[in-house]
Copies of this chain bind each other. A is one copy, B any other.
Amino acid sequence: MQRYKLTIEFDGRGYVGMQAQSSGPTIQAALEAAIDGYCQTDVRIAAAGRTDAGVHAKAMVVHCDLPRGDAPDKVMAALNAHLRPHPIAVLKAQAVSDQFHARFDCTRRRYGYRIVTRRAPLTFDKGLAWRLAFPLDLPAMQRAARCLIGKHDFTTFRHVHCQAKSPIKTLETLDVVADREGLWINAAARSFLHSQVRSMVGCLSLVGRGKWQPEDVKRALEAKDRSALGFNAPPDGLYFMGADYPASLQSR
């Protein structure tokens, strides 16, 4: 058996999420079927993060143990061939130690949320961004985002079905960055509560629109109450952007 770390990109439209569910197609099931096609073996993968239905990934990290000790480049090419026609691609494969665990060893998860501001409906990016028809006040959103950085009780920004033991998380990064078509909101933390990024983005959008002041986000946080939430942003704009690991666990 050889353990491989795989970096995966996927278009989440048409999937109910990363992880195995009772119903609907998942990224995990597509990957496990591709591994089965390649190695004729029933393998379970472990992923750095869960994602909801319709959420995308530019660099999800998973690991799996394969009975064949093929070179990483061959593993990548073979899995990509077996993944067709899914919009899922293995960007990178690395042979790693049996100690490496994509979920438990992850020290930082990075998410990006893409907002396109324009009046016209989306064409190329339908389902790949959240379109808002009005301009956003970027500096106000940036001020509001700073209220959320650090160690807090994020109960307000937690999905009712969240299974985390504690609502206390340490948000390392929450940047609001303009781009040509709108903006990206970039978030990083060791771990997030279920729906935390989309909940934070929903509140920031209210600030951007001028319906909330930056201080209202602080007030919502301090309320520690889900009903204080502005609203959840849709999954369309959410991307899992990367997972970080201790240098000692990198590929061998």
Contact = CB atoms under 8 A, between A and B. Distances in A.
A106 interface: no
**Copies of this subunit:** 2
A89 interface: yes
Contacts of A126: 87
Contacts of A119: 76-77
A128 interface: yes
Contact of A89 (B56, B83, B91, B121): B121
Scoring A10, A80, A123 by chain B CB atoms within 10 A of each residue's CB, the highest score goes to A123
Given A80-B120, A91-B118, 16 more contacts: A9-B120, A11-B123, A11-B124, A56-B124, A76-B120, A77-B119, A83-B121, A87-B123, A87-B124, A87-B126, A88-B123, A89-B121, A89-B122, A89-B123, A90-B120, A124-B128
18 contacts: A9-B120, A9-B123, A9-B124, A10-B123, A11-B123, A11-B124, A76-B120, A77-B119, A80-B120, A80-B121, A83-B121, A87-B123, A87-B124, A87-B126, A89-B120, A89-B122, A90-B120, A91-B120
